[in-house]
């Protein structure tokens, strides 16, 4: 791929410290919004009007909400805002991938990546700042600061991408954002409540209206929450498997010590709504000499036998100081051939946006390094 780095500098637009505290509309469900509006002495239908302007039309400016009177607009603008996260860096790859580095008011940063493909456009969103888990091949797991993203911060990533992609009004033909994957920073099932609330808002037919079939939640294997996500949200499930023996998985994906493979596979086998049309995606990062042997492949196929499955072989994306190497192309091919022979289609994930460090956690780290260099702090 040719490397064409197009980077747009972004102004710092943090709100003034004395600005009145207004609530973000991006974190309110229709019922929450209605309750607040009724509590403010306004009729219920105002909630429906406001909801459509925000979620159907993507408006952030109350003055553009043409069916609201001047007094109501003023009242709303004192109570609420629909601000997006602040973009501190925007990188566009020569393959069309766009990556935004976002900053939240407390100074923390997260990443969102848009990956266009022939017949779909996928937005990869973050669910936490950093991650409490410490998978040994994942750079996010080495970042110290960790907190959950709020519902508004999760939805804010989708809204920002829709603004930038020109996707309003929601649901228009030829929209560019067609799918969402929760595969950015963080473990979504450790932030279940906020992730679930955000996905319900994004799925709401009165708003963005994205179908649950177009949303995929990726988890390292928080077994007790898997069933709940299936029953309550019905989104697609992806599992970061990466190893097929407990001993190795304990090392690569340490949550395995708490929820070992047998329990994980059992939860997946029983995932609600599973069928040939709705399969589990197994993510398997290819690590040279670690998990990529023919024997690993055989055990992998035996492990998932009978579960409607898709396999996703991910070439390992190295980061500075990472203890692994990506398997060679022949090894990946040989592994993929065996997977194909067993009846699973197109399993190797093509790396996208490599010229803009589109892999999990990399842009954030690069920007931290740059800042440290500027301020003279070693790291």
Min dist. Cβ of residue 359 to ligand SAH (A): 6
Q: 195 touches which of ligand SAH, ligand SF4, none (CB within 5 to 8 A by kind)?
A: none
Torsion sign across C-alpha atoms 226, 361, 141, 153: negative
Q: What are phi and psi of 202, to 5 degrees?
A: -65, -30
Asked if residue 187 binds ligand SF4 (CB under 6 A), the reply is yes
Give the contacts of 140 (CB within 8 A, at least 6 positions apart): 130, 131, 185, 186, 360, 361
Could you tell me which stretch among 115-123, 129-137, 301-309, 363-371 binds ligand SF4 (CB under 6 A)?
Answer: 129-137
- Which member of 240, 317, 327, 362 binds ligand SF4 (CB under 6 A)? 240
In terms of residues, how long is the chain?
A: 379
- Which member of 27, 85, 121, 141 binds ligand SF4 (CB under 6 A)? 141
Q: Is residue 223 a contact partner of residue 267, using CB atoms and an 8 Å limit?
A: yes
Q: Note if 119 is an active site residue.
A: no
Cis peptide before 190 (omega within 30 of 0): no
Residue closer to ligand SF4 (CB basis): 198 or 314? 314
Measured CA to CA, the distance from residue 15 to residue 322 in angstroms comes to 37
As beta bridge partners, residue 112 has 100
Min dist. Cβ of residue 350 to ligand SAH (A): 12
Measured CA to CA, the distance from residue 286 to residue 328 in angstroms comes to 9
Catalytic residue among 34, 111, 153, 187: 111
Q: 285 touches which of ligand SF4, ligand SAH, none (CB within 5 to 8 A by kind)?
A: ligand SAH
Q: Which of residues 279-298 bind ligand SF4 (CB under 6 A)?
A: none
Min dist. Cβ of residue 373 to ligand SF4 (A): 25
Measured CA to CA, the distance from residue 203 to residue 209 in angstroms comes to 5
Q: 191 touches which of ligand SF4, ligand SAH, none (CB within 5 to 8 A by kind)?
A: none
Helices vs. strands in the chain: H and E counts, helices first: 11, 14
Asked if residue 91 binds ligand SF4 (CB under 6 A), the reply is no
Q: Note if 360 is an active site residue.
A: yes
Residues of this chain that bind ligand SF4 (CB under 6 A): 131, 133-135, 138, 140-141, 186-187, 220, 240
As annotated, the active-site residues are 111, 360
């Amino acid at each position: 791929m040719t490397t064409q780095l197009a980077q747009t500098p972004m102004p710092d637009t943090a709100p003034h410290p004395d600005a009145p505290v207004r609530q973000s509309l991006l974190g309110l469900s229709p019922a929450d919004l209605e309750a607040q509006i009724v509590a403010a002495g306004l009729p219920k239908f105002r909630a429906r009007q406001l909801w459509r302007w925000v979620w159907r039309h993507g408006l952030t400016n109350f003055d553009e909400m043409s069916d609201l009177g001047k007094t109501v607009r003023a009242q709303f603008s004192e109570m609420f805002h629909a601000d997006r996260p602040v973009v501190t860096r925007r990188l566009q790859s020569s393959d069309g991938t766009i990556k935004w580095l976002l900053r939240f008011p407390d100074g923390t940063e997260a990443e969102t990546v848009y990956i266009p493909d022939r017949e779909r456009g996928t937005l990869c969103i973050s669910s936490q700042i950093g991650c409490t888990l410490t998978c040994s091949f994942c750079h996010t797991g080495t970042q110290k600061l960790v907190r959950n993203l709020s519902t508004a911060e999760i939805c804010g990533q989708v809204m920002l991408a829709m603004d930038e992609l020109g996707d309003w009004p929601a649901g228009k033909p030829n929209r560019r954002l067609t799918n969402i994957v929760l595969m950015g920073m963080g473990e979504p099932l450790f932030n279940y409540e906020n992730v679930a609330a955000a996905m319900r808002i994004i799925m709401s037919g009165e708003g963005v209206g994205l179908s649950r079939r177009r949303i995929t939640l990726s988890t390292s294997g928080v077994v007790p929450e898997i069933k709940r996500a299936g029953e309550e949200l019905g989104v697609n499930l992806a599992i970061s498997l990466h190893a097929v023996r407990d001993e190795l998985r304990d090392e690569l994906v340490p949550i395995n010590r708490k929820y070992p493979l047998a329990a994980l596979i059992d939860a997946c086998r029983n995932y609600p709504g599973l069928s040939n049309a709705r399969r589990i995606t197994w993510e398997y990062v290819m690590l040279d000499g670690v998990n990529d042997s023919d024997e690993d492949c055989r055990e992998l196929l035996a492990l998932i036998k009978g579960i409607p499955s898709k396999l996703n072989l991910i070439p390992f994306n190295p980061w500075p100081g990472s203890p692994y190497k990506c398997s060679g192309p022949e090894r990946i091919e040989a592994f993929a051939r065996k997977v194909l022979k067993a009846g699973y289609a197109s399993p190797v994930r093509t790396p996208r946006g490599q010229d803009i460090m589109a892999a999990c956690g990399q842009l954030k780290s690069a920007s931290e390094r740059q800042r440290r260099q500027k301020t003279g702090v070693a790291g």
